[in-house]
Amino acid sequence: MPPTSRIRAPDSPYDHKSTRERIVEAAYRVFRSSDIDKATIGDIALEAKLSRATIYKHFVSKGALLHHISELNLRRIHREILESVSHTQGFAEKLTEALLVATKIAQTDIYTRRIFNSIEAASRSANPRYSDYKLTRESWRPFLERAWETGELSKDLELDDVVIWLTLSLVMMYVRLMTVKLTDRKIRAYFARYVVRPLLSSPSVLK
């Protein structure tokens, strides 16, 4: 009787993922299905089918893991925002629409809400000393620099001043929407008039 060939078991979904990726994906699932503050490293380890010790080899604390995920999420959101306005014509219109999209994302995204719901976290997002701000700055930089090159953005402004202004404006709108329901049209008009227009070299181009 010929030897029976060994049948290889189907690949595990984790076979081609690094341990760090498994941890991050498990944390995403745990944070989305339960309260972030109540979730534990043990919950994440169970979801990832790893030991707590393995989690701690890659992230020193739940806070470090949450911060890493928040940064990944912030990068994704900035990509989504810029992609969503890629077909909009003109810097002023693009920026106004980008702020509207960012506002809508902030209302539904648990990580962004966590930043805006905390005064301390919101202040860090507008402080050049912190990594959250630096990531936001680099995401906005190409878009703003193109506007300077085309003469649409006022040349007497500094990049940091513009980024901080946009960040704080988003936080203010988020807070306002916690108590007042506004249509997209009203939100767009608010951003255009009070946030975008002061940045333009020729404010009259935005009506």
pLDDT digits (tens, 9 = 90+) for 102-127: 999 888 888 777 777 777 777 878 88
Query: pTM for the whole thing?
Result: 0.78
Sign of CA dihedral 79, 83, 85, 88: positive
Q: CATH 1.10.10.60 occupies which residues in the chain?
A: 13-60
pLDDT digits (tens, 9 = 90+) for 190-203: 999 999 999 999 86
Helix (H, G, I), strand (E, B) or coil at 142: helix
Whether 1 shows a pLDDT value over 50: the answer reads no
CATH code of domain 13-60: 1.10.10.60
Which of the listed CATH numbers 1.10.357, 3.40.50, 1.10.3470, 3.30.450 matches domain 70-205? Answer: 1.10.357
Least confident of 30-39, 157-166, 168-177: 30-39
Average pLDDT for the chain: 85
Cα distances (Å, whole numbers) of residue 138 to 113, 132, 134, 173, 190: 21, 10, 6, 22, 25
Enumerate residues 6+ apart whose C-beta is below 8 A from 184: 100, 104
Burial pattern 160-195, b for ≥16 Cβ within 10 A else e, equals eebbbbbbebbbebbeeeeeeeeeeeebbebbbeeb
Element (H, E) at 112: helix 110-116
Does residue 73 surpass a pLDDT of 90?
A: no
Residue 173 φ then ψ, to 5°: -65, -40
CATH 1.10.357 occupies which residues in the chain?
70-205
Contact 84/97 with Cβ under 8 angstroms? yes
Output the pLDDT for position 132: 80
